[in-house]
A and B are shown apart, each in its own frame.
Chain A
Amino acid sequence: MSKTGHMKLMLDQAAVRRARALSARVGEPIVRLAQEHTTVSVERATLRLGGITGADPEGTPWVNRLLDVVRADVGLEHGVSLPVWHALLRGEAEDLTTLAQKAAAGSVRFQVPEGREATRARTAARKQVGAGLRRIAARRRERERLVKRWGDPEQKPWIYLIVATGDIYEDMPQAQAAAREGADIIAVIRSTGQSLLDYVPEGPTREGFAGTYATQENFRLMRAALDETSREVGRYIRLTNYASGLCMPEIATLAGLERLDMMLNDSMYGILFRDINPVRTFVDQRFSRQVHARAGIVINTGEDNYLTTADAMDAAHTVTVSQLLNEHFAKEAGLADWQLGLGHAFEIDPDVPDSFRLELAHAMLARQLFPDAPLKWMPPTRHMTGDVFRGYLLNAFFNLAGAMTDQGILLVGMMTEAVVTPWLSDRDLALQNVRYVLNAAGGLHEDFRPPPDGFIAQRANQVLSESLELLEQILDHERGLLDAIADGTFGLMRRPADGGRGLEGVAERSPTYFNPASELLEAP
């Protein structure tokens, strides 16, 4: 996915620069907040990098059992690495999983070591967690080799399809069939409600609601199935899952270890749409993005969600602001432009006059604000009524807008959106729709130059200026973004910093806080 090159839309360049400067100001205190706190999931991700695996007979992961004991003994604020590796050096167990089993049985007491003992614990932790990060780096190099061998998709945008049966063994053949039919990216939707679980389930799973649980074993199985199909179809099929919800850092880590290629990972989605505590989210998000940066994973952000709950015209600037903030947080965490699948969606009411021109304006604004990001283009959902014929037409216009504005990742819209989970025929028809449009007009973005003072350029500049106003409004709050989120500046959802799920899993770092993963991930 390459740079679009030349300017196609006359954006007010001073406004663009100002938008970035304001986003940096909004983001700065949030980054500081993330640096000053840790969470249970950040600590568990660190232990997972250290090699802990498995679950107790009830299905609670050993990493949760271990963390809970450590926390009860010494608190969370110092990080778990010092007490855990101190216990290993004392000879309490030969490895982390055994240590967790012993701790769960009540036979290990943890303490925060000092002096030389602390130094030794730090050295041991760095070595073991560093090995985990090196495994992730090795999986990244493996991906680069396989992409070179099997190749990238021939066309752009890349075609993104969803499977969601709830059963990983059903998902695999469906995903393979979708790849043979033309999908370049397969996303396995998670079971509804996983985002609110404060642990990552274990093993292969066959029971999920409206999706399949994200587990390390499911990741491994699906990646292996797609490797098989990649070889067969002669292009590298990418696999997507969700690093969101309460276990973002852990899922990001597992994704890196199992060579997933893209992860849904938004900076504010969990706060606004899942009522997860804002501090928890920002801390988890930063760590997970640092892992994604190392793993060479492309993140997909969730701006489409703003438009499924609010009017796509009224809320257009909230999408732009969220993209700017996602970009800021992502880059701060070490992600490169090519890893930023910033989201946006085709959700304007088709009854609004000039709706397609307005969609083009919004899509081009995103394209031009983020010229080197792949951009994830999401199909209509809000105005899919059950009239499948009209829906098919709307999806064709969505595909056309994607082709005209050079989007990177196109999530294929289904005409049966809001009716049934996609049937085999729905998927086939949807792919025919995409192929027709890309074949007929795939290169249209080369010819499409809206006049600088025309309707499209004016609308784009208007959304940009509304975005500046919103960023300024956020900065007018005493505590900036946190207060803005608390008072409902984004959508109608009010999410105070001391409310929401997962707050009990957050701790302010003490002066002795130590986390080898954070330390290694911060290093350039």
Chain B
Amino acid sequence: MTTATGAAGAGRVVRPYGDTTGDGMVQMSFTLPVPYGGAHSKVAEGAAQQLAHKMGMDPAMVVHAKAMGPDFTFFVVYGRVHHLVELDKVQVVERDYPLLSPKEANLAIRKLLRRRMVVVGACIGTDAHTVGIDAILNIKGFAGEKGLEYYREVRVVNMGAQVSVPQLVARTQQEKADAVLISQVVTQRDAHLLNTREMSAAFREAYPAADRPVLVVGGPRFDEGMTAELGVDRIFARGTTPADVASYLVHALALRRHRHAGAPGPARSAMEEVALR
């Protein structure tokens, strides 16, 4: 993974745009635990104004305030901020591997492994939301892209929801899987982070470092930069498509092959071939 800075916007500085360049206009809404109505209204609106000021909005206009029950007030605030966004200091995780079509991925896998790539997928812990893992794995796919089951050179073992870590490790060993995909949607009490750490620790224990399958975790609330902290090879956030995942897996396996072989081997040439096209 590379952390790229916004080269395209080198040196550029921008401000939020309302209807004029540089006007700095933003909108926000929030709730305060204060009553509204009658004598309370002025105090409540003043409280909202104060918050907006402290957040850097100046001027701040409380355009809407409404009581929500006896103890709360909801506000909509419009206002100007004076902060500058420096585009060359924006840090993002960029894709550091070529995006392959299913056909290209199949070809690369065949050259790389001389067999089908085995991928085990699951929602671990108590998470029952298979939407994410199914979008990536099921042939039906996501956003018009077919899932990994559609890839001829990929064998998918979708274990579904609420799989325990020991079950997952056992199945991965049994299937001799090359990669493990984990989906975590539930984030209450940081369950997604705890589960992921438990999972990566179990794989570290069960496999020698060189043979460990590629560990990939995905879900809408992950920070893509936390791979080292969570002990996984890659984190995918919202909006990831099956092709992103397939391409990454090809890339990761090629790198491993290459590292093991030491010298340029078939893996590398497969990747180069793909990259050159």
Residues of A within 8 A of B (CB): 166, 177, 180-181, 191-193, 195-196, 209-210, 273-275, 308-311, 386, 418, 421, 423-425, 428-429, 492
Contact = CB atoms under 8 A, between A and B. Distances in A.
A423 to B, nearest CB: 7
A10 to B, nearest CB: 33
8 contacts: A193-B162, A273-B130, A386-B238, A424-B31, A424-B68, A425-B30, A425-B68, A492-B134
B139 A308 contact: no
Contact of A196 (B31, B162, B189): B162
Interface residues of B, number: 27
Contacts of B66: 428
B191 A209 contact: yes
Contacts of A428: 66, 68, 74
Contacts, number: 58
Contact of A492 (B126, B138, B186, B238): B138
B160 interface: yes
Nearest to B67: A428
B183 to A, nearest CB: 13
Contacts of A193: 125-126, 128, 162
Query: What are the 7 tightest A-B residue pairs by CB atom distance, in nearest-first order?
Result: A193-B126, A192-B126, A428-B68, A425-B74, A425-B31, A210-B188, A210-B186
Contacts of B254: none
A369 to B, nearest CB: 27
A81 B127 CA distance: 36
Contacts of A166: 188
A180 B69 contact: yes
Nearest to B191: A209
A191 B69 contact: no
B107 interface: no
Nearest to B139: A492
Nearest to A427: B68
A171 to B, nearest CB: 14
B207 interface: no
B121 to A, nearest CB: 13
Given A177-B69, A193-B128, A274-B128, A425 B29 contact: yes
B189 A209 contact: yes
Nearest to A194: B126
Interface string B181-197: 00000101101000000
Contact of A424 (B72, B125, B189): B72
A472 to B, nearest CB: 24
A310 B139 CA distance: 11
A191 B126 contact: yes
B136 to A, nearest CB: 13
A309 B128 contact: no
A166 B191 CA distance: 13
Contact of A275 (B29, B72, B160): B160
A424 B72 CA distance: 9
A284 B128 CA distance: 21
B140 interface: yes
Contacts of B161: 273-275
Nearest to A431: B68
B131 interface: yes
B72 A209 contact: no
A62 B87 CA distance: 64
Interface string B135-152: 000111000000000000
B220 interface: yes
B68, B131, B134, B220, most chain A CB atoms within 10 A: B68
Interface in B156-192: 160-162, 186, 188-189, 191
Given A180-B69, A492-B139, A308 B31 contact: no
B218 to A, nearest CB: 15
A143 to B, nearest CB: 27
A422 B13 CA distance: 35
Contacts of B220: 418
A513 to B, nearest CB: 32
B69 A192 contact: no
A193 B161 CA distance: 9
Nearest to A381: B131
Nearest to B238: A386
A44 B29 CA distance: 50
Nearest to A492: B138
B69 A181 contact: yes
A191 B131 CA distance: 18
B275 to A, nearest CB: 33
